[in-house]
Chains A and B, each alone.
Chain A
Amino acid sequence: MRFNRGVAIGATVLSLALVAGACGSSGDGDKTSSGTSSTSSGPKPSIKVGAFNFSESAILANMYAKALAAKGYKTSVRANLGNREVVAPALEKGEIDLYAGYAATDLEFFNKAAGQATGDAASNATKLNAILRPKGLEALEPSPAADQNSFAVTKATADKYKLKTLSDVAPVAGQLVLGGPPECPTRPFCQPGLEKTYGLKFKSFRPLDPGGPLTKAALEKGDIDIGLVFSSDGAIVAKNWVVLDDNKHLQNADNVIPLIRTKVATTEVKSILNDVDSKLTTDDLTKLNKRADVDKEDPDALAQEWLKDHGFI
């Protein structure tokens, strides 16, 4: 008797799950509304916004999407796609139409690490466009808000080895473990850059995540000695970490900049996105990141709130 009921319940649950799944959203989890997309004047293009695998990117993607949606565009957000090795090809292939990039890093990525990036965001953007246009892509206006790679140590480590700048690390690098995203050993602004510009050869590298909870936990608990964190991360101040000064300017102007497919970049779209970016500040990013990472607030809710506060919706 008991067994029969158990079987019946199980069958019901499974059927309900399948029915619910079938009646649920269509496709692969995109929040898309149906509709046609068009490239010329007429119906507004539908725009797929992608994001990297950290919260700031999800927040920015949602900001772009909602600002556009407020003006009648059909948008969808695909967050957590991965690192640039995933997101950039997705843009080139048209799987997404737009993402919030970072001027210097994207320039180096598309330019195959040629070393052309500088501390001037506008010039980075120009050089980036020169490479993107033949691919049917373009970069819009860089925002005043920037998020650089930073390398931080705990106060204890800084005091022990008397570290203030990255140059100070050179004599003791061989005793330190570096932690960062798995792609760090192949990125010019990460491990190879530290070696080339500062002569830093670390004891070992631990692959963790892009400035996320793993890296921060490892730094806090001493499993790594120096970690890559993002300059807009609120944890730096909260935990009293020491960000080592980039005295030889390895990092360049990583201002937020939209990368978009020319096909959907109408005048109105461009002006909306540039408008959003122009009002964004690094301080905004820091505050929003903290709320997403520590308080676990939803990136889309945070984006909505910021847009409302700044008069976009």
Chain B
Amino acid sequence: MRGFAVVAAADPWVRWDWVHRHSDVILADLREHAELTGIAVVLGLLISFPLALAARRWRRTEAPILFVGGVLYTIPSLALFAFLVPWTGLSRTTAEIGLVSYTILILVRNIVTGLDGVPEDTLDAARGMGYTGWRQLVGVELPLAAPAIIAGLRIATVTTIGLVTVTVVMGQGGLAKLMLEGFTRDFRTPLTVGLTLTVALAVAADLFLQLVERLVTPWARAGRA
């Protein structure tokens, strides 16, 4: 082996001087990653709610909706993005359409399960107290379904953070841009930074949503601790 290989082997996993010099790029990538995720999850939630409510209202649509969802779900993300590219190009739009699709698949299922899980006696009691229609939905069913819905949000958010990585093939990618640089240049530092921050972002988002769940379901606190 020549000197070439000796020098290459000396590449440390993190060169902090590189991190300091490129902190603006790192933060920009982190921001892009968080934005792509945030948009996908919020849009996904906005679309999933009506879909879930419709599926429950018209029970015969529930099976087809979940079935189509199940099939789309199985398609690997790279393939899903590839299906869209001939029509929407290498753009953020393509990325978001793909990302939102996956969040819908997760959220619809969880919202339906959550609402289905509200005990019938509770609903009877509520109706007896005058909670009907929308009031029942907003005042009784949703709060009780909250744990399941937030659980779905946690999965959707963490999953989306992972899927954003794949959008790097379309020039997006967020923190995956750093990982790609590490791979193409055989350079460990950006790779380590990109991967670590992606996992950290996912863990932080998950913990944050757990916090939200605790705040939103104060009655469950008695059962904890």
5 pairs of A and B residues whose beta carbons are closest in the complex: A10-B207, A21-B31, A24-B27, A213-B186, A14-B204
- The complex places the Cα of A86 from the Cα of B27 at a distance, in Å, of 25
Report how many residues on chain A are interfacial, defined by Cβ distance under 8 Å: 39
Interface residues of A (CB under 8 A from B): 6-11, 13-14, 17-18, 20-22, 24-25, 27-29, 31, 53, 55, 80-82, 86, 209, 212-214, 217, 235, 238-240, 293-296, 298
Other A-B pairs beyond A14-B205, A296-B15, 11, CB < 8 Å: A7-B207, A9-B207, A10-B208, A13-B204, A14-B204, A17-B200, A17-B204, A82-B171, A213-B185, A214-B184, A296-B189
Q: Is A17 within 8 A of B208, CB to CB?
A: no
The answer to whether residues A6 and B31 also contact, given A212-B184, A296-B11 and a CB cut-off of 8 A, is: no
Chain B residues within an 8 Å CB radius of A238:
2-4
**Does any Cβ of A come within 8 Å of B141's Cβ?**
no
- The complex places the Cα of A6 from the Cα of B203 at a distance, in Å, of 11
Can you sample 17 A-B contacts with CB below 8 Å? A7-B211, A11-B211, A21-B27, A24-B27, A24-B30, A29-B24, A29-B25, A29-B28, A80-B181, A81-B171, A86-B171, A209-B184, A214-B184, A217-B186, A235-B4, A238-B2, A298-B18
Within B28-50, the residues touching A (CB, 8 Å) are 28-32, 34
Chain B residues within an 8 Å CB radius of A213:
184-186
- The complex places the Cα of A8 from the Cα of B214 at a distance, in Å, of 12
Chain B residues within an 8 Å CB radius of A28:
28, 32
Report how many residues on chain B are interfacial, defined by Cβ distance under 8 Å: 38
Q: Which residue of B11, B34, B206 is within 8 Å of A21 (Cβ)?
A: B34
A8 nearest CB neighbor, chain B only:
B211
- The complex places the Cα of A239 from the Cα of B184 at a distance, in Å, of 20
Chain A residues within an 8 Å CB radius of B187:
296
- The complex places the Cα of A14 from the Cα of B171 at a distance, in Å, of 25
